[in-house]
């Protein structure tokens, strides 16, 4: 309950545009099309609540019924954990939509900006500027 309140309050606070400059801890963001959002929907295969980054792996129906695996890096538990996210935010089998910055090399993945949960709630995953 408290987590949900925090998430809701965070969304009110942080409703708007993303910070231009990347703030992730320990590596370049040049491999992503940073700032250009795309979306993909699928079923969570694994949610990794790990340092130095979280990862969400989803299965996405591809052409001809073949399931493709997509992988998205996210901010660390150090950042997400203080803003309403937790080990239990996502679980295997959850049907989600992932908004992300794509990999420039065209592989199925990128950096996740927010995740839209099965109940329709959108959880932000990057620092944002209030306006």
Partner 1 sequence: MKRLCISVALAAAAMTLGASSGCGRTSPDSSGRNGTASGAPAAQENAYAALAKLPDWSGVWEPARLARPNAEEGPPAPPKLTPEYAAQYAAYQEKNRTTPGINFVSNVANCIPSGLPGSMLQPYPIEFLFTPGRVTINIETYSLVRRIYTDGSPLPEEPDPSYQGTSIGRWEGDTLVVETLGILPETSPLAGINGHSDQLRITERIRLVEPDLLEIATTREDPAVFLEPYTTIARYQRHRDWKIMEYVCAQNNRDSVDEHGNPGFDLERTPGE
Q: Contact positions toward partner 1, by CB under 8 A?
A: 2, 5-6, 9-10, 12-14, 19, 21-32, 34-35, 45-46, 48, 50-53, 55, 57, 59, 67, 69, 71, 73, 76-79, 81-82, 103, 107-109, 127, 129-130
Pick the closer one to partner 1 by CB: 102 or 115: 102
> Least distance from C-beta 69 to partner 1, angstroms?
5
- Angle, CA of 90, 5 and 120, to the nearest 5°: 45
> Least distance from C-beta 33 to partner 1, angstroms?
8
> Least distance from C-beta 25 to partner 1, angstroms?
5
Pick the closer one to partner 1 by CB: 99 or 128: 128
Pick the closer one to partner 1 by CB: 76 or 116: 76
Comparing C-alpha atoms, which of 126, 127, 105 is closest to residue 115? 126
> Least distance from C-beta 119 to partner 1, angstroms?
21
Pick the closer one to partner 1 by CB: 13 or 91: 13
Comparing C-alpha atoms, which of 44, 21, 34 is closest to residue 90? 44
The whole-angstrom separation of Cα 47 and Cα 59 is 12
């Amino acid at each position: 309950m408290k987590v949900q309140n925090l998430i809701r309050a965070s969304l009110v606070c942080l409703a708007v545009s993303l910070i231009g400059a990347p703030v992730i801890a320990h590596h370049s963001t040049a491999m992503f099309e940073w700032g250009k959002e795309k979306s993909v929907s699928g079923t969570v295969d694994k949610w990794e609540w790990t340092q130095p980054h979280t990862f969400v792996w989803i299965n996405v129906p591809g052409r001809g019924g073949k399931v493709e695996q997509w992988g998205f890096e996210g901010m660390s538990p150090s950042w997400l954990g203080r803003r309403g996210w937790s080990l239990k935010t996502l679980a295997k089998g959850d049907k989600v939509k992932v908004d992300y910055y794509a990999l420039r090399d065209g592989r199925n993945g990128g950096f996740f900006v927010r995740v839209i949960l099965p109940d329709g709630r959108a959880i932000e995953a990057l620092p944002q500027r209030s306006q």
